[in-house]
């Protein structure tokens, strides 16, 4: 062997060299526990690979591009995706590849299939648990696939979850390394996790179990049966059984969920005999390790295998404001996302729409003040409920994009890690449909000066007029979207503005690359890829549309607020005085005086930014005058060719996007609303510019590099 070290001979090797998981399996194997046979690829090979390929400097560049603490979770996803793609596309140095393949061939040909698992030094100690943060690959059937999986597992050292967790623990990512376990794939009939001290009740043991492989349990796709066992006797004390219908099992391409047979459906994957065996092993491990343990196990042909074991992380009790569990919950399996998609399409969005419609139809003017106050309170309750649903369901759905992105990048190995976005273009985006209809109406006005004058005079367009029909159709489809209210412009005003633009509007054309992509795959991959793509497209579409539906609900609250303000202003608002939130003065939030990085004029030094670095979110280069949206009324001044600078593109603001030369957002990430819209229209876009609306002034001449994520404020041009 050149690189691989047999697990059974590794128990003297330090966990710094082979990682905590491998070190533990080595000890267990030496003590006679049944562990799948396997080898370890030590962490020094990872460092050798990084050094020889130059990846170490790429990772350093990615990590230091921006202050980690200033990044939103979406930006951390992007960093992780780009680092992962460096691993995927990097050509293996020939000497490492040759030696490693030789090793893999000599060990794995004895096995029907191989599993590749992460084992990072420092993980899974008494105070840290990286469980679920790094990747594993299972059911690999040839040495080349195993080699590729090694790269993917190495890359998972930089998963967004792992980056966040290291940051939380104050660990230096630059000093991280990853070893890999390459072991025989044991295909169990029943698998699960044993907690020798149950998380909820540390006086009992708890066994969780599913049919088939335990991947579906670990990633939360299948809810397991949970049996509590007496810690002393192993006797079953409580059974919580769910009706399992599917199991994760080997497929022609990796693993997949398969329906259970009738016999399996009728019984629990656990029984008393299995529980007794688990209890016995659990007690032995506790004695060996001197601590309570989590144990991943599988039964194959009635033989119990330990897949991994780790001491229970007792000191990591979550803080009340700890967002990490939520971040980690954003990772969903394909099956989970398919379910989520159905829920969003069939329940959530129609529900939001229903509530919004009801609010839009209600005539607030007929309510007395008491009734209006109640209606307002009810609308806020409804909005808050949907905001919570948005966080729990809509944001995790965005993971579909990334899941497909990783899948696509693994297969195609593109230079541009965001090439996959080209497959997701959809004319079904509500914002695109709305903009298209607006521009169609503007074109009619442009050809009809009489009609244009009528609109300018605020004349009512007579029923039966074709343009009236277009207006009605627009109102029907996009009613309640409060961009009209927030933008300080009415629909007529905006149409007149669009009509008076010299140039018409062109939709961006995006040719479907789906066929080209799918044709490169074999039939097994193709079926899986088609499902992935379907979920990714839904995710892309919903990522935009859910914002618009939420905007419609919010419009209901705004309408009630406006009615309250109207009555207060007219002196008829008795009982409504203290209902409304303090309205921020237009410039308060964006005052340059408060800026930590804006212009600083003193008697000695005047500071101003020249070049700002964010995330490249829409390719292309453009320049123009800045239009900073620090007050929604400035939308009215927006001109074609301006560079739109904003804190975050609100979904209901996107109608100005097609006119922009470029878009700059303070919020970062490739998956945020503004970035999606910019890509749809082919507009250069840079996101994640800290304090963008503070440091850039309306009228600044900007050069926007959407390839590199750089914004230059060119005052010499002014």
Partner 1 sequence: MTNTKEWDMVVELLRQQTFAVLGTSRQQHAYASLVAFSATESGKSLYFATTRATRKYHNLAIDNKVSLLVDNRAEQNMPLYEAAAVTAYGVAEEINDQARSEALQSYLVKHPQLKHFATAPSTAFFRINVEEYHLVQRFQNVTEFCINR
CB of 540 to partner 1, least distance (A): 29
CB of 605 to partner 1, least distance (A): 4
Q: Which is nearer to partner 1, 388 or 607 (CB)?
A: 607
CB of 87 to partner 1, least distance (A): 19
48-62: b (≥16 Cβ within 10 Å) or e: ebbeebebeebbeeb
Backbone angles phi, psi at 143, to 5 degrees: -60, -35
Tell me the per-residue interface mask from 683 to 712 with partner 1, x by CB under 8 A, - otherwise: -------------------------x-x-x
In whole angstroms, give the CA distance from residue 129 to residue 323: 16
CB of 613 to partner 1, least distance (A): 5
Q: Which is nearer to partner 1, 208 or 691 (CB)?
A: 691
Judged by CB under 8 A, the chain residues 276 through 335 that form the site for partner 1 are none
The residue among 57, 74, 56 whose CA lies nearest residue 615 is: 74
Question: From the CB of residue 98, how many other CB atoms can be counted at a distance below 10 Å?
Answer: 12
CB of 597 to partner 1, least distance (A): 7
As a whole number of Å, the end-to-end CA separation of the chain is: 67
Helical (H) or strand (E) element with 686: strand 685-687
User: Of 60-68, 325-333, 567-575, 659-667, which part binds partner 1 (CB under 8 A)?
Assistant: 60-68
3-state secondary structure of 236: strand
Q: Which is nearer to partner 1, 72 or 531 (CB)?
A: 72
Size of the site for partner 1 (CB under 8 A): 24
In this chain, which of 1, 61, 572, 584 binds partner 1, going by CB under 8 A?
Answer: 61
Helical (H) or strand (E) element with 357: helix 349-361
CB of 611 to partner 1, least distance (A): 3
Q: Which is nearer to partner 1, 424 or 711 (CB)?
A: 711
Half-sphere exposure of 580 (CA within 13 A, CB side): 19
In this chain, which of 64, 346, 384, 388 binds partner 1, going by CB under 8 A?
Answer: 64
Question: From the CB of residue 508, how many other CB atoms can be counted at a distance below 10 Å?
Answer: 12
Q: Which is nearer to partner 1, 294 or 691 (CB)?
A: 691
Q: Which is nearer to partner 1, 317 or 604 (CB)?
A: 604
Q: Which is nearer to partner 1, 313 or 623 (CB)?
A: 623
For 121-145, the DSSP string reads: TT-SSSS---TTTS-EEEEE-SHHH
Q: Are 92 and 3 contacting, i.e. CB atoms less than 8 angstroms apart? A: no
Q: Which is nearer to partner 1, 597 or 633 (CB)?
A: 597
Q: Which is nearer to partner 1, 56 or 345 (CB)?
A: 56
CB of 619 to partner 1, least distance (A): 17
The residue among 315, 310, 312, 313 whose CA lies nearest residue 20 is: 310
4-11: long-range contacts at Cβ-Cβ below 8 A with a sequence spacing of 24 or more? Answer: 4/39, 4/40, 4/41, 4/100, 4/103, 4/104, 4/107, 4/182, 5/39, 5/40, 5/41, 5/42, 6/38, 6/39, 6/40, 7/35, 7/37, 7/38, 7/39, 7/40, 7/181, 7/183, 8/37, 10/40
Judged by CB under 8 A, the chain residues 612 through 641 that form the site for partner 1 are 612-613
Q: Which is nearer to partner 1, 365 or 606 (CB)?
A: 606
Q: Are 27 and 11 contacting, i.e. CB atoms less than 8 angstroms apart? A: yes
CB of 712 to partner 1, least distance (A): 8
Judged by CB under 8 A, the chain residues 574 through 613 that form the site for partner 1 are 596-597, 600, 602-613
523 binds partner 1 (CB under 8 A): no
CB of 494 to partner 1, least distance (A): 37
Helical spans, DSSP H, in 448-513? 449-456, 466-478, 483-486, 491-500
Cα angle vertex 458, ends 453, 462, to 5°? 85
Q: Are 29 and 61 contacting, i.e. CB atoms less than 8 angstroms apart? A: no
Q: Which is nearer to partner 1, 491 or 710 (CB)?
A: 710
Instruction: Report the greatest alpha carbon distance in the chain.
Output: 91
CB of 66 to partner 1, least distance (A): 7
Q: Which is nearer to partner 1, 579 or 710 (CB)?
A: 710
Give the Å distances, CA to CA, from 134 to 80, 175, 290, 594.
12, 16, 26, 41
Question: From the CB of residue 664, how many other CB atoms can be counted at a distance below 10 Å?
Answer: 29
Q: Are 110 and 116 contacting, i.e. CB atoms less than 8 angstroms apart? A: no
In this chain, which of 37, 65, 254, 682 binds partner 1, going by CB under 8 A?
Answer: 65
CB of 604 to partner 1, least distance (A): 6
Q: Which is nearer to partner 1, 502 or 610 (CB)?
A: 610
CB of 60 to partner 1, least distance (A): 5
In this chain, which of 2, 14, 44, 60 binds partner 1, going by CB under 8 A?
Answer: 60
The residue among 228, 209, 227, 226 whose CA lies nearest residue 217 is: 209
Half-sphere exposure of 425 (CA within 13 A, CB side): 16
Q: Are 120 and 136 contacting, i.e. CB atoms less than 8 angstroms apart? A: no
In this chain, which of 44, 57, 98, 323 binds partner 1, going by CB under 8 A?
Answer: 57
* Sign of the dihedral through C-alpha 251, 257, 259, 265: positive
CB of 162 to partner 1, least distance (A): 20
CB of 602 to partner 1, least distance (A): 5
Q: Which is nearer to partner 1, 29 or 80 (CB)?
A: 80
CB of 222 to partner 1, least distance (A): 43
Three-state secondary structure of 294-343: EEEEEEECCEEEEEEEEECCCCCCCCCCCCHHHHHHCCCCHHHHHHHHHH
Judged by CB under 8 A, the chain residues 204 through 243 that form the site for partner 1 are none
Angle between helix axes 55-64 and 43-53 (nearest 10 degrees) is 90
Q: Which is nearer to partner 1, 70 or 506 (CB)?
A: 70
Q: Which residues bind partner 1 (CB under 8 A)?
A: 57, 60-61, 64-66, 596-597, 600, 602-613, 708, 710, 712
């Amino acid at each position: 062997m050149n690189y691989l070290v047999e697990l059974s001979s590794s128990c003297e090797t330090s966990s710094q060299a082979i990682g905590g998981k491998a070190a533990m399996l080595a000890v267990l194997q030496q003590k006679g526990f049944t562990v799948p046979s396997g080898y370890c690829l030590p962490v020094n090979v990872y460092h050798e690979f990084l050094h020889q390929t130059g990846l170490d400097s790429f990772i350093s560049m990615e990590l230091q591009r921006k202050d980690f603490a200033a990044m939103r979770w979406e930006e951390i996803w992007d960093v992780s995706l780009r680092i992962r793609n460096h691993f995927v596309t990097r050509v293996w140095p020939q000497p490492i590849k040759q030696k490693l393949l030789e090793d893999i061939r000599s060990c794995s040909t004895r096995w029907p299939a191989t599993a590749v698992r992460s084992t990072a030094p420092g993980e899974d100690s008494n105070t840290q648990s990286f469980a679920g943060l790094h990747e594993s690959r299972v059911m690999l059937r040839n040495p080349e696939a195993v080699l590729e999986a090694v790269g993917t597992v190495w890359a998972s050292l930089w998963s967004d979850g792992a980056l966040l967790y290291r940051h939380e623990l104050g660990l230096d990512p630059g000093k991280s390394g990853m070893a890999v376990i390459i072991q025989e794939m044991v295909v169990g009939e029943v698998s699960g996790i044993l907690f020798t001290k149950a998380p909820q009740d540390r006086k009992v043991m708890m066994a969780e179990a599913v049919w088939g492989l335990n991947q579906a349990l670990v990633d939360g796709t299948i809810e397991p049966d949970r049996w509590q066992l007496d810690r002393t006797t192993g006797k079953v004390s409580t059974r919580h059984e769910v009706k399992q219908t599917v199991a994760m099992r080997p497929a022609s391409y990796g693993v997949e969920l398969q329906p259970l047979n009738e016999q399996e459906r009728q019984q629990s994957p656990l029984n008393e005999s299995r529980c007794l065996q688990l209890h016995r092993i659990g007690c032995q491990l506790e004695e060996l390790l001197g601590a309570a343990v989590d144990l991943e196990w599988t039964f194959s042909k009635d033989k119990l295998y330990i897949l991994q074991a780790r001491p229970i992380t007792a000191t990591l009790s979550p803080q009340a404001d700890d967002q990490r569990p939520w971040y980690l919950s954003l990772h969903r399996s394909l099956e989970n996302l398919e379910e989520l998609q159905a829920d969003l399409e069939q329940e959530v969005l129609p529900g939001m729409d229903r509530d919004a419609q009801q609010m839009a139809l209600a005539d607030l003017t007929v309510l007395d003040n008491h009734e209006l106050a109640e209606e307002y309170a009810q609308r806020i309750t409804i909005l808050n409920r949907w905001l919570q649903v948005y966080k729990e369901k809509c944001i995790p759905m965005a993971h579909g994009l990334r899941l497909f992105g990783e899948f696509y990048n693994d297969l195609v190995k593109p230079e541009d890690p965001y090439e996959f976005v080209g497959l997701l273009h959809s004319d079904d985006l509500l914002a695109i449909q709305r903009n298209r209809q607006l521009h169609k109406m503007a074109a009619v006005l442009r050809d009809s000066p009489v009609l244009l004058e009528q609109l300018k005079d605020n004349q009512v367009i007579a029923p039966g007029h074709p343009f009236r029909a277009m207006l009605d159709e627009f109102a029907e489809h996009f009613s309640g979207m409060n961009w009209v209210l927030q933008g300080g412009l009415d629909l007529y005003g905006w149409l007149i503005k669009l009509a008076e633009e010299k140039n018409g509007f062109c939709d961006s054309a995006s040719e479907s690359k789906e066929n080209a992509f799918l044709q490169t795959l074999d039939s097994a991959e193709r079926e899986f890829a088609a499902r992935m793509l379907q979920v990714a497209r839904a995710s892309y579409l919903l990522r935009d549309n859910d914002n618009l539906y939420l905007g419609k609900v919010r419009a209901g609250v705004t309408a009630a607020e406006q009615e309250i303000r109207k009555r207060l202003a007219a002196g008829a608002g008795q009982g409504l005085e203290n209902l409304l939130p303090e309205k921020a003065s237009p410039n308060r939030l964006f005052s340059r005086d408060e800026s930590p990085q804006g212009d600083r004029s003193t008697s000695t030094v005047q500071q101003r930014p020249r070049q700002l670095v964010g995330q490249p979110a829409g390719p292309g280069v453009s320049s123009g005058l800045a239009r900073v949206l620090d007050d929604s009324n400035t939308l009215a001044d927006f001109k074609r060719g301006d560079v739109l600078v904003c804190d975050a593109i609100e979904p209901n603001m996107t109608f100005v996007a097609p006119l922009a030369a470029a878009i700059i957002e303070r919020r970062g990430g490739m998956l945020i609303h503004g970035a999606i819209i910019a890509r749809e229209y082919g507009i250069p876009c840079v996101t994640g510019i800290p304090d963008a609306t503070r440091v850039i002034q309306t009228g600044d001449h900007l050069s926007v590099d959407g390839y590199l994520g750089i914004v230059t404020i060119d005052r010499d041009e002014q």
